[in-house]
Structure 1
Amino acid sequence: MKIAVTGASGTQGNAVACLLTSQGHEVRRITRNPKHPNDVHGDFDRPASLEQAFADIDGLFLMTPLSGPSEAAQGIAAVDAARHVPHVVFTSATNADRDTGIPHFDTKAAIERHLAANHPHWTVLGPAAFMSREGPVALPIPRTLKLHLIAPEDIAAMAALAFEQPARFHHRRIDIASDRLTGPEMAAIRSTEFVEFTLAQAETYSSDLAAMFRYFTETGLDLDIPALHAEFPEIAWHTYADWVTGRAEPRPE
């Protein structure tokens, strides 16, 4: 299959592009500044460039840039540019369709609605928070709150499965997570410390992120990890401990 991947220079998009390539698909890496083989120019601020980048492909992995209020307009334009693509897999965020009030979740929800209303074959994946290996675990959450976490490799595996089994993923929105841990549990695995700070402190850094952690703390995410993993046993679903210590399956380069 010919599959275009936006955001291929980032953690999530690169994982998807690498896995699809390793599985024998022809991957078109969409980027504003092409530098490498298989890079194709595509600019979210120039929809005409996306139409050219999306020409003659079988599938599109769509990840929109985090660009504030303009993200919804960019994503909607990208969906319109992909109107002839047989299958669009859009990566959103866990529970973004729940009117969370989190700004960057709500922009993704607007893109989801436009995709569902205007594209004949779509899939939405809602990843939880990305796993991280670096530095201390510093989060504005209570020490006892368990966060849903996802390994980039598992996002990639779900996207690849969606492209390879389109009927199974037709018109489905699936929230995904690999593991669920407290801050201190994450810190122990990483042999570091857990630094808890307040939502008020987070607000001074980013009101958007503060709103997200407030939602996590006061409402909580609705995601049944055992049911998800049972439905998709093909996915490795890396535990945080395995991923951090390198026991996760290596990502193809």
Structure 2
Amino acid sequence: MLILVTGGTGALGTVTVPRLVEDGHTVRVLTRRPRTERDVRGDLETGEGLEAAVNGVDAIVHLASAPHKWNTPRVDVQGTRRLLGEAAQAGVGHLVYVSIVGVGTVPSRYFRFKRQAEELVVEGQVPWSILRATPFPEFTEGMLRTFSRLGPVVVPARTPWQVVDAGEVADGLVSMVGHGPSYAVDELGGPEVRPFDEYARAWLRARGSRRPIMPVWLMGRTGRTQRQGHLTTLDGANGRKSWQDYLDECYGTSGAKGVSEKNPS
């Protein structure tokens, strides 16, 4: 099949594109700045190049997003609407959309736009499948680095967390392409749900750091829904790669030596 991938140059896209090729598909990557023979010029925000990009395409894997930016609605919502319109006109047979576990319940500006994009996909004329994923370990480590800028590692108190490997999400997307439209929203999470502070402790041990951890109670509905586990999934918890696996790949095990469980900072 000929597959158009939006967001193909991002963290998930750079893993998904090679897997689609390995599965026997021909891939086009939509980008504003083409650099390879596989790339086609197009811009979700303006609609430029979308008509040509979808021409002759059998399926679309829609990964493009602008998280936490001023133009998020123009890319995630309006851009998805434009893409769906052109895909319908071109007779594209399947659109696979990647979303986030919790978009329907956790009050967040970015989640609200992702949910609106989901609704456009579901209500559109292009046959569809949606895969919601929990956060990647790289994103979680980025959060921990941000939370530790002032010394102690500030973490949300009593908040369950679940990471999933980007490669496993890519495999799920490739499988969806192969199976055709499901008209269903599936979820994919990693192999374990653990309190966020445990993720922080494991991260500190791996890095040989003795920084203290400071749990903070998140107020309002956002904190409540996160503590209730709405950012995690049990039904879709079929990933294999754990947080510790990720840390071992990044840091090895030497950082854990000499650091006790009671004082992991």
Q: What TM-score do the two structures reach when normalised by structure 2? A: 0.75
Q: Is the 8 A contact 1:176 1:223 kept in 2?
A: no
Counterpart in the other structure of 1:170: 182
Q: Is the 8 A contact 1:142 1:217 kept in 2?
A: no
Of 76-85 and 179-188, the range deviating more from structure 2: 179-188
The whole-number CA distance in structure 2 between the counterparts of 1:197 and 1:184 is 7
Q: How many Å apart are 1:48 and its aligned residue? A: 4.6
> Is residue 107 from structure 1 mapped to residue 113 from structure 2 by the alignment?
yes
The whole-number CA distance in structure 2 between the counterparts of 1:242 and 1:6 is 29
Q: Is the 8 A contact 1:122 1:170 kept in 2?
A: yes
> Is residue 94 from structure 1 mapped to residue 101 from structure 2 by the alignment?
yes
Question: Residue 69 of structure 1: which of 66, 73, 96 is its match?
Answer: 73
Question: Residue 223 of structure 2: which of 214, 218, 226 is its match?
Answer: 214
Counterpart in the other structure of 1:118: 124
Q: How many Å apart are 1:245 and its aligned residue? A: 2.0
> Aligned with 1:126: secondary structure?
strand
Instruction: Give structure 1 stretches of 5+ with no counterpart.
Output: 201-209, 231-235, 248-253
Counterpart in the other structure of 1:130: 136
Q: How many Å apart are 1:122 and its aligned residue? A: 0.3
The whole-number CA distance in structure 1 between the counterparts of 2:212 and 2:92 is 45
Counterpart in the other structure of 2:236: 228
Q: Is the 8 A contact 1:175 1:223 kept in 2?
A: no
Aligned residues with identical type, % of pairs? 19
Task: Quickly say closer, same or farther: Cα 1:199–1:143, change in 2 above 3 A.
Answer: closer
The whole-number CA distance in structure 2 between the counterparts of 1:109 and 1:198 is 28
Tell me which amino acid in the other structure corresponds to 2:85: D
Q: How many residues align?
A: 229
Q: Matches of residues 40-79 of structure 1 in structure 2 within 5 Å? A: 40-66=40-66, 67-70=71-74, 71-79=76-84
Instruction: Give structure 2 stretches of 5+ with no counterpart.
Output: 148-152, 251-265
Q: What TM-score do the two structures reach when normalised by structure 1? A: 0.78
Q: Is the 8 A contact 2:160 2:227 kept in 1?
A: no
Tell me which amino acid in the other structure corresponds to 1:65: S
The whole-number CA distance in structure 1 between the counterparts of 2:55 and 2:111 is 29
Q: What's the CA shift string for 1:111-144, capped at 9, x where partnerless?
A: 1111111134101111111212857553764344
Q: Aligned-pair RMSD on alpha carbons?
A: 2.9
The whole-number CA distance in structure 2 between the counterparts of 1:82 and 1:211 is 40
Task: Quickly say closer, same or farther: Cα 1:197–1:183, change in 2 above 3 A.
Answer: same
Of 157-166 and 43-52, the range deviating more from structure 2: 43-52
Larger-Rg structure:
2
Q: Matches of residues 14-29 of structure 1 in structure 2 within 5 Å? A: 14-29=14-29
Q: Is the 8 A contact 1:2 1:25 kept in 2?
A: yes
Question: Residue 186 of structure 1: which of 196, 199, 207 is its match?
Answer: 199
Of 157-166 and 141-150, the range deviating more from structure 2: 141-150
Q: Is the 8 A contact 2:108 2:222 kept in 1?
A: no
Tell me which amino acid in the other structure corresponds to 1:30: L
The whole-number CA distance in structure 1 between the counterparts of 2:221 and 2:55 is 36
The whole-number CA distance in structure 2 between the counterparts of 1:25 and 1:199 is 47
The whole-number CA distance in structure 1 between the counterparts of 2:56 and 2:134 is 32
Q: Is the 8 A contact 2:81 2:120 kept in 1?
A: yes
The whole-number CA distance in structure 1 between the counterparts of 2:222 and 2:154 is 7
Counterpart in the other structure of 2:6: 6
> Aligned with 2:20: secondary structure?
helix
The whole-number CA distance in structure 2 between the counterparts of 1:160 and 1:212 is 35
The whole-number CA distance in structure 2 between the counterparts of 1:35 and 1:58 is 23
